[in-house]
């Protein structure tokens, strides 16, 4: 009997990551679930294994710690239990500004949302290319098209790195897709202390995690380099890409001001 393909999902216990885990399990993929909270990982693994009859392995890791990142990279490098799909999803919102004297939170954001995806994506690619197939999905953000301080800077790296990886992997059978959502209806903003900003965003601008993940997996299946869920966000990215930078800067200042309220 042929074994199922296996997907590794970072940040799997909440928000977009948990939805990726659910939808991949529903497709019949075995899972390796990565997050910091071992208890939540065990509960999610038990639920998905019972509901979808897939194998669920848990790997507790803090991706701001290089040793933990290296352990996940070693799992991606396995030849006996190969990973066929990597979802680089782990991340968090934060309120640090670029002028704060304490850079600890920003350094952690760079570690989790830029350095870790780079290391894990490279490990996955090296393992997948000899097999001639595989998918690497990295969660970036629509904020990569604006200049909204530290968060835009980190997510811009994730987006451009993923695009660069896609170029290097062209013709290998392995694809890299950057998922760039706008506002997603998860606990992300509450956990980051950004409730004020969230309440100022009109209802039409939000997308559910279910639709976000469904469209991301569809785009990855098609080998698309960028995935922008929903037509409004596709149009927003197009407009931001082609607008004069003075307009982008002005919009970014307004978004930053809303974040601070």
DSSP 59-84: EE--TTSHHHHHHHHHHHT-SSS---
Q: What mean pLDDT comes out for the span 186-205?
A: 53
- Residue 202's pLDDT is what? 60
pLDDT score of 193: 46
pLDDT band at 196; cut points 50, 70, 90: very low
Give the pLDDT score at 194: 46
Tell me the mean pLDDT in the region 169-184: 94
Average pLDDT over every residue of 234-253: 90
Binned at pLDDT 50, 70 and 90, residue 2 comes out as very low
DSSP assignment string, the chain: -PPPPEEEEESTTSHHHHHHHHHHHHTT-EEEEEES-HHHHHHHHHHHHHHH---EEEEE--TTSHHHHHHHHHHHT-SSS---EEEE---------TT-S--HHHHHHHIIIIIHHHHHHHHHHHHHGGGT-EEEEEE--GGGGS--HHHHHHHHHHHHHHHHHHHHHTTTTEEEEEE--SEESSSHHHHHT-HHHHHTS-GGGEE-HHHHHHHHHHHHHTT-SEE--SHHHHHHHHHHHHS-HHHHHHHHHHHHHHHH-
Using one digit for the tens of pLDDT, what is the confidence trace for 86-100? Answer: 999 999 988 889 999
Residue 8: which pLDDT band, with cuts at 50, 70 and 90? Answer: very high
The predicted pLDDT at position 218 comes to 97
What CA–CA distances, in Å, run from 15 to 85, 89, 190, 203, 220?
A: 19, 10, 12, 18, 19
**pLDDT digits over 24-73, tens only?**
999 999 999 999 999 999 999 999 999 999 999 999 999 999 999 999 99
Give the global pTM: 0.89
Q: Residue 257 to residues 15, 142, 248, 250: CA-CA distances in angstroms?
A: 25, 18, 14, 11
- Give the model's pLDDT for residue 183: 79
Predicted local confidence at residue 253, as pLDDT: 85
User: How much of the chain exceeds pLDDT 90, in percent?
Assistant: 78
What pLDDT shows up at residue 66?
98
pLDDT of residue 252: 82
Q: Cite the active site residues.
A: 151, 155
């Amino acid at each position: 009997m042929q074994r199922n393909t296996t997907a590794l999902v970072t940040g799997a216990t909440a928000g977009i990551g948990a939805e990726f885990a659910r939808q991949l399990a529903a497709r019949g993929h075995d899972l390796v679930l990565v997050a910091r909270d071992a208890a939540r990982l065990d509960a999610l693994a038990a639920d998905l294994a019972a509901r979808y009859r897939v194998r669920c392995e848990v790997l507790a890791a803090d991706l701001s710690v290089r040793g933990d990142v290296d352990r996940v990279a070693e799992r991606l490098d396995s030849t006996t239990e190969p990973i066929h799909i990597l979802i680089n999803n782990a991340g968090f919102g934060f309120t640090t500004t670029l002028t704060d004297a304490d850079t600890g939170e920003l350094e952690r954001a760079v570690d989790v949302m830029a350095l870790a995806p780079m290391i894990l994506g490279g490990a996955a690619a090296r393992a997948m290319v000899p097999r001639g197939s595989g998918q690497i999905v990295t969660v970036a953000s629509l904020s990569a098209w604006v200049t909204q301080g530290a968060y835009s800077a980190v997510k811009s790296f994730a987006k451009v790195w993923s695009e660069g990886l896609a170029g290097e992997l062209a013709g290998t059978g392995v694809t890299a897709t950057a998922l760039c959502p706008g506002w997603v209806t998860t606990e992300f903003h509450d956990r980051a202390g950004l409730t004020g900003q969230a309440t100022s965003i009109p209802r039409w601008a939000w997308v559910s995690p279910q639709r976000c993940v469904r469209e991301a997996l569809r785009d990855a299946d098609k080998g698309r380099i960028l995935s922008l869920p929903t037509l409004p966000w596709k149009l927003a990215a197009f407009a931001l890409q082609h607008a004069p930078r003075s307009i982008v800067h002005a919009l970014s200042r307004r978004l930053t001001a809303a974040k601070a309220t």
